[in-house]
A and B are shown apart, each in its own frame.
Chain A
């Protein structure tokens, strides 16, 4: 099996768009599905001509490689921002709206105004700039892929902190997702303040 080092097509996709929109930012989220913890979003602006090895579909990057890319992206990005929406916000406005809020915060936190925001998925947050959604964006656009790495690594680190703070739930094992183990722990220890109450209806019934 050949190992692809540089996924040039992801960078070519962005380069093509920069002809019309000189400053584009990629946006992606992490942690939409789990039963616990904040939802994370990241926005990244990459300079034209910058190529980053191993940047790819986020599901195809190993955890170790993601950690390396995290630093490389932060050093080389023109601008980047990682933002969150809290568990309380998720419970009060639902996860979709909270995710959109986190994405908006990430774009607003960039410090520069992009000409175009590329959003991973099939929904658009409300932004002050033009935006476009890209289905399977992290496997299509280098900027979105970079954003997905920042969002994912940031959330993984946050979940590690939660695991230390709430050792009884074994967050380090299930990352907050609704696994059998997680539900067993919830039965045993009850719901904590970092759990998304609206995600736990099944437990109360």
Chain B
């Protein structure tokens, strides 16, 4: 299984998980120049921008750690772009989901809603 196939499987399983939790998936792989959001989903009053990180069970760095300051900045920038083009009353929220995959099998899904916010970044929603 290639790296991109693993990533795709991770995103698929998070989508299924969120849908099961009652989220409405709005957009997948929303791209602008210099940024991408894996999943955009509606959760009640929230618009969740979900970054999916796929890991092997023996990984030294967790998926949550991998969403560092620079990566968060890129996601926030992309989310600001999305919100400009798709005005809505929903409160934006930034989530991270980690999927553990071994030999093409999803072992676990861990989703942290509101994992970080825009504090320290110069974007206003």
Contact = CB atoms under 8 A, between A and B. Distances in A.
Interface string A143-171: 00000000000000000000000000000
Interface string A1-21: 111111010000000000000
Contact of A51 (B105, B109, B111): B105
A53 interface: yes
A6 B110 contact: no
Interface residues of A, number: 9
Nearest to A4: B108
Contacts of A2: 98, 108-110
B26 interface: no
A1 to B, nearest CB: 8
A53 B106 CA distance: 8
Most A CB contacts (10 A, CB to CB) among B13, B108, B109 go to B108
A2 B62 CA distance: 13
Nearest to B109: A3
A58 B108 CA distance: 18
Contact of B17 (A3, A6, A51): A3
Nearest to A5: B106
A73 B14 CA distance: 24
Contacts of B90: none
A6 B109 contact: no
B70 to A, nearest CB: 25
Contacts of B106: 5-6, 53
B107 interface: yes
B95 to A, nearest CB: 14
A8 B111 CA distance: 20
Nearest to A1: B110
A147 to B, nearest CB: 22
A26 B110 CA distance: 30
A3 to B, nearest CB: 5
Contacts of A51: 105
With most chain B CB atoms within 10 A of its CB, the pick from A1, A3, A4, A51 is: A3
Contacts of B110: 1-3
Nearest to B106: A5
Nearest to B21: A3
12 contacts: A2-B98, A3-B110, A4-B107, A4-B108, A5-B106, A5-B107, A5-B108, A5-B109, A6-B105, A6-B108, A8-B102, A53-B106
Given A3-B17, A6-B108, A8-B102, 10 more contacts: A2-B108, A2-B109, A4-B108, A5-B13, A5-B106, A5-B107, A5-B109, A6-B106, A6-B107, A53-B106
Interface of B: 13, 17, 98, 102, 105-111
